[in-house]
Amino acid sequence: MEQQIEPEQVYGASSRTSMSLQEAHNFETIFQIPTTNRLVLVRSRSQGSPPTAIDWEHDEFASDGRLVARYRSFERIGPTGERQSGWRKLDCTGELVRETGDLK
């Protein structure tokens, strides 16, 4: 019997910088989530002032409620405005499936 996890919505920091970074990304598109699945923000964490940093954690659920994958992503903006970002996809057992150095 597969484990089913009920998603919980957790809200991140409300600073202008972290909100603007989050709004700039369509995570369903970036992670290529099928329209039948649901992506849930589990956690976001930000630090600010330059440099600015934000980390996100998302869980992907199939239409029947099964956990399909977990995503860990980040974006950093340095004091001179340089950006670094990336994300990892983990399967439901925690094994790395995919990794990329950009949130595009």
pLDDT reported for residue 19 = 43
Say whether pLDDT at 54 is over 80: yes
Burial of 75 (0-12, 13-18, 19+ CB in 10 A): buried
Contact indicator for 92, 72 with CB cutoff of 8 Å: no
Say whether pLDDT at 22 is over 80: no
**In this structure, which amino acid lies at residue 22?**
Q
How does the average pLDDT of the chain come out, rounded? 80
Q: In this structure, how many other beta carbons lie within 10 angstroms of the beta carbon of residue 19?
A: 15
- CA distances for 44 relative to 18, 47, 53, 66, 71, angstroms: 9, 10, 11, 22, 12
Whether this model's pTM surpasses 0.75: no
